[in-house]
Amino acid sequence: MEIVIQPTPAESTAAAAQLVARVIRRNPAAVLGLATGSTPVQLYRELIRMNLDWSRITTFNLDEYIGLPADHPQSYHTFMRENLFRHVNIRPENAHIPDGNAPDIAGFCGEYERRISAAGGIDLQILGIGSDGHIGFNEPTSSLASRTRIKTLTRETIRDNARFFGSEAAVPRHVLTMGIGTILEAREVFLLAFGEAKADAIAAAVEGPVASTNPASAVQFHPAAKFFLDEAAASKLSRADYYRWVYDNKPDWQR
């Protein structure tokens, strides 16, 4: 794992954006796994600004609420359209988001997994992290081998996301999410986390034992994972000095 610590979210995002752009430039038909939430918004802005060619890019989003109309202001369909898709030349048929209104949810989940495989698997998965350590919507005690399926949100996540919905009561209880097993099959994983509210979750994910009680700790099993943090999110890492040392001493060929 590589832990990139930058002073501010903007600098950390810029570092991640450069590497995402490199993946797109090197492979114009890359398959990207995308995340929602406030954390990747700036990343998408940077990618839009870079004027990349998305005409052959395929994307798969991690998750979606169940039962929200796709055009609801807080659906992840709306989030992706507003924050990325309508600003780039991606083909609508290449941008996949779980369908939280599928009549047969279980059937849809299997189909989503098949679509990811048919596209050749995900080259690069972008992740955020919940304050309870969730990735996608894989809440604590999610199986580390889980696949795309329905999940029930924790009260903590409902509280965290109430700010987008105006009240806790308005946050859907159920969601569809890629599983941890699905996420770990991506060839590369970038996890972004900023702010002090994420510091405990990041310390547990990077330095804690791997456990289903901290879903993000499963990323320790991934052979090519990078964490992009600001100082606040990194503030509870006991080996932060080592991670900075590694970054500052990267061999030229690895930069």
- Figure out which of the listed residues 20, 31, 32, 37 binds ligand GLP, where binding follows CB under 6 A: 37
Q: How far is the CB of 223 from ligand GLP (least distance, A)?
A: 22
* Structure tokens given for 244: 């900075």
- Figure out which of the listed residues 36, 148, 212, 217 binds ligand GLP, where binding follows CB under 6 A: 36
Q: Is 50 helix (H, G, I), strand (E, B) or coil?
A: coil
Per the CB < 8 A criterion, the answer to whether 186 and 123 are in contact is yes
Kindly give the pairing relationship between strand 225-230 and strand 174-177. Answer: unpaired
Q: How far is CA 77 from the centre of its chain?
A: 15
CA-to-CA distance for 165 and 156, rounded, in angstroms?
15
- Figure out which of the listed residues 59, 146, 161, 214 binds ligand GLP, where binding follows CB under 6 A: 161
Kindly give the pairing relationship between strand 58-61 and strand 31-34. Answer: parallel
Residue 132 known to be catalytic: yes
| 35 counts as binding ligand GLP under rule CB under 6 A | yes
CA-closest candidate to residue 41, choices 192, 165, 215: 192
Residue 96 known to be catalytic: no
Residue 46 known to be catalytic: no
CA-to-CA distance for 160 and 169, rounded, in angstroms?
12
- Figure out which of the listed residues 8, 18, 27, 38 binds ligand GLP, where binding follows CB under 6 A: 38
Q: Which is nearer to ligand GLP, 85 or 137 (CB)?
A: 137
Which x/- pattern over 126-145 shows residues binding ligand GLP (rule: CB under 6 A)?
--xxx-----xx--------
Q: Interface residues with ligand GLP (CB under 6 A)? A: 35-39, 62-63, 128-130, 136-137, 157, 161
User: Residues with catalytic annotation?
Assistant: 63, 132, 134, 139
